[in-house]
Structure 1
């Protein structure tokens, strides 16, 4: 098996001098004084059900964009603020509204692009939530609600960090700041590439902060340096041209459900590791992380064993995985004694850093075709791919970010990989190849993004805002490369 090698491990002391202690304490005081307003603004955003998926009312996404634009205009530092859309692919359909803003750099200062997204995942079933998904609710030190962490807290981390910087340094900054708050990240960022090209003059920057990831725990910051890519598609398995009575013909002809179950089972070895030839792993050195921590963070039931091989974090960060995320078949309540002619499933594969997503899709397609049982007919469509990502950690922006995190959190950050995907980062790199990419976040292992009872830890959020404000202050003081 071919491996791509890199290290993902606790960070060393960042290079460069520490930020001025007085400035840091002023920023800390500004973040603290502004925190009630920051939380109030966040709760207003969480109340907007801005689900960008096709089956939902997109007027809410438009309302969310307007609300974000109002917050950005209220900062008083941007030369221009716009709500804009871009075409999806080559057609005429437009993507969801995004907020873009820019202030020009002066006197040799760099420009930083701050990215987050204001759309959210569907809430799922209300009964799975302890409180209503779009009614932000404070319980203990966590704020619950859909988007409270992913990623409206990311939006507010940018807003609050700029507010604190302006409070300390004034609005007449030399630092160039661009802002891009996307409106369709949770629905595949379908217009993203066109949007970057259309708005290139507004978005071009020396460093890009993507506030859409995780921290090591509630007390330890992290910089994400490795992300898996993704391949998703619909697989349809057909064995009959019409349904038949299962009692009359069962046992003689293969129904589509039987063929689908047998075919899906070929995707994994007996221990749950992926068994598709051509899907590769990356050789990442990972921090300590034991099974007890895995169980605590995932809710893995007693007696249910983890799957896969190698260190636990290597399975999540550096190896491929395949998940069946949906099945089109009769529900149990509506089941009849019928041989199904056709079954469709949604497959979601995560691709290790270092492997091309198109290559991975070909490996999956070839495997499914080759392993179709009973001569079943296989159809694959609705394909979506996203490239994995490895960060170059040698640049000045990473050093400045790690120093700011250390100052704000009181602990050095950990370089982490993430099992999830942020496919648009590859498009950012393609459009802005000289920009340095920083993937940060406001989440912690118990934020439960995309799940019921999603939440934001307020202590993590406060420290993340201060870290970004300290990073911006460092860039405001920076000249040259």
Structure 2
């Protein structure tokens, strides 16, 4: 493949086509179903799916078909099938499939956007394209198709490609397994999965994700009285629902250290992952993010490598939402009827999320303090993922591409987030190779305010994907 021409094709596509499309996409408030219960009626997910599918269908890619797969009561799935091209089209051997994955659903708006910015207001500032969903993960469909287009336009080859763009990833991908079942044999023999929904520690080379944490989410609620009572009358006799919640939380987390007490949520860290964290800390000269700490707040780990392992291989509990508590400005002197907390428990990549959820529920429900009414509902699970060893051909291709496009060798790192699809497909195709990477780098702030896509990085990364597609098609006996 003419790699220089491929990058020129990609640069032209990003400049004249992808950026305007991403600006249109950012303007669509396509909240994931967990955050928009009436997603079908609101039509925002449908609008995003239609926009992305229409652009994919318009591209000059030989042998491509685009469809929207629909299942009753579930979010749609964009399916793009591209026939083998170049040397792969004449290969008499077994036909392998390259799956390219992304999603179009988005996280909620979140507060704290800077003046002039907003979740549904695309703003270009140098290399940064601000707005919700551009980096997580709207760009993936456009970049994947641009990479295929560049391969074909530059004398390269690619195997059969199957692009899957879902619409409920931010809700834990509850619909995706049903779509995979519906695809059946169309999945083919998956030899390589390319996922662009992960992150990068810097914007100056390719970062390959080697692990993803799992996740258990649940809503813990304690009810004490039928309606609010004047605190001067009830407090001191009727127990506070918040105090009872504190007792329950102490069962699952050490408040002083943050250590998670759920046994199934803890796992040994493989020695090679420890070595990767130390190499990454040395490369970065730290952990790579300053997080905008307020005042003199201390991190939970002093050693950078331990800090990287803490957010990629150790469990951690976060309270991400609350009900039953009025804003401080309008809070009266009232003993509140109940308190509910949304819990997010990040898990080591090798932990069994179902086992963790079961143990978590038992710890919280059993022997309720003062016989209070305790409920644990809306439990969702997602397993993590620990990558298989890289095949020699893929390791070489990734490193050569990183040197070509960025001038630096590829780097490895563990990711603290979850991508349920990776664990799903890894279980279905244990012999497959994985290229899990992405653009969520320093300050990009996915899920939070001021999310942005680093355009120059995304453009170079697209070139790397084209390189990998061509290398996969040309490999023999690797």
Normalised by the length of structure 1, the TM-score is: 0.87
Residue 23 of structure 2 is matched in structure 1 by 43
Distance in 2 (alpha carbons) for counterparts of 1:280 and 1:78: 47
Residue 322 of structure 1 is matched in structure 2 by 317
What is the CA distance between 1:51 and its match in structure 2?
1.6
Residue 304 of structure 1 is matched in structure 2 by 297
Residue 404 of structure 1 is matched in structure 2 by 401
Instruction: Rate the CA distance shift 1:221–1:79 in 2: closer, same or farther, 3 A.
Output: closer
Residue 10 of structure 1 is matched in structure 2 by none
Superposed CA RMSD in Å reads 2.5
**Contact 2:258/2:316, CA 8 A, preserved across alignment:** no
**Contact 1:211/1:439, CA 8 A, preserved across alignment:** yes
Residue 199 of structure 1 is matched in structure 2 by 183
Instruction: Rate the CA distance shift 1:279–1:377 in 2: closer, same or farther, 3 A.
Output: same
**Contact 2:317/2:346, CA 8 A, preserved across alignment:** yes
Residue 355 of structure 2 is matched in structure 1 by 359
Which of these residues, 201, 214, 221, is aligned with residue 199 of structure 2?
214
**Contact 1:281/1:352, CA 8 A, preserved across alignment:** yes
Residue 102 of structure 2 is matched in structure 1 by 116
**Contact 1:110/1:478, CA 8 A, preserved across alignment:** no
**Contact 1:225/1:393, CA 8 A, preserved across alignment:** no
Distance in 2 (alpha carbons) for counterparts of 1:406 and 1:445: 21
Distance in 2 (alpha carbons) for counterparts of 1:294 and 1:476: 36
> Is 1:383 paired with 2:383?
no
Distance in 1 (alpha carbons) for counterparts of 2:329 and 2:191: 56
**Contact 1:240/1:255, CA 8 A, preserved across alignment:** no
Distance in 1 (alpha carbons) for counterparts of 2:213 and 2:158: 36
Q: How does 1:326-337 map to 2 (within 5 A)?
A: 326-331=321-326, 332-337=328-333
Distance in 1 (alpha carbons) for counterparts of 2:102 and 2:257: 37
Instruction: Rate the CA distance shift 1:142–1:308 in 2: closer, same or farther, 3 A.
Output: same
**Contact 1:237/1:342, CA 8 A, preserved across alignment:** yes
**Contact 1:214/1:443, CA 8 A, preserved across alignment:** yes
Instruction: Rate the CA distance shift 1:183–1:398 in 2: closer, same or farther, 3 A.
Output: farther
Residue 426 of structure 1 is matched in structure 2 by 423
What is the CA distance between 1:309 and its match in structure 2?
7.8
What is the CA distance between 1:70 and its match in structure 2?
1.6
**Contact 2:158/2:469, CA 8 A, preserved across alignment:** no
What is the CA distance between 1:425 and its match in structure 2?
1.6
What is the CA distance between 1:398 and its match in structure 2?
4.7
Distance in 1 (alpha carbons) for counterparts of 2:315 and 2:356: 10
Residue 474 of structure 2 is matched in structure 1 by 477
**Contact 2:56/2:142, CA 8 A, preserved across alignment:** no
Instruction: Rate the CA distance shift 1:216–1:81 in 2: closer, same or farther, 3 A.
Output: same
SS at match of 1:122: coil
Range that drifts further, 159-168 or 121-130: 121-130
Residue 447 of structure 1 is matched in structure 2 by 444
What is the CA distance between 1:441 and its match in structure 2?
1.0
What's the CA shift string for 1:77-96, capped at 9, x where partnerless?
3442110123xxxxxx5221
What is the CA distance between 1:219 and its match in structure 2?
0.8
Residue 153 of structure 1 is matched in structure 2 by 139
Distance in 2 (alpha carbons) for counterparts of 1:130 and 1:296: 24
Range that drifts further, 372-381 or 245-254: 372-381
What's the CA shift string for 1:330-386, capped at 9, x where partnerless?
312442332223221110000112211112123322332458543433211111000
Instruction: Rate the CA distance shift 1:401–1:95 in 2: closer, same or farther, 3 A.
Output: farther
Residue 10 of structure 2 is matched in structure 1 by 31
Residue 177 of structure 1 is matched in structure 2 by 161
Q: Counting helix residues as a fraction of each chain, which structure ranks higher?
A: 2
Normalised by the length of structure 2, the TM-score is: 0.87
SS at match of 2:379: strand
Instruction: Rate the CA distance shift 1:278–1:70 in 2: closer, same or farther, 3 A.
Output: closer
What is the CA distance between 1:243 and its match in structure 2?
3.6
What is the CA distance between 1:128 and its match in structure 2?
5.3
SS at match of 2:198: strand
Specify every segment of 5 or more residues in structure 1 that has no aligned partner in the other structure, as ranges: 1-19, 87-92
Residue 190 of structure 1 is matched in structure 2 by 174
What is the CA distance between 1:143 and its match in structure 2?
0.9
Distance in 2 (alpha carbons) for counterparts of 1:174 and 1:308: 45
Distance in 1 (alpha carbons) for counterparts of 2:90 and 2:402: 26
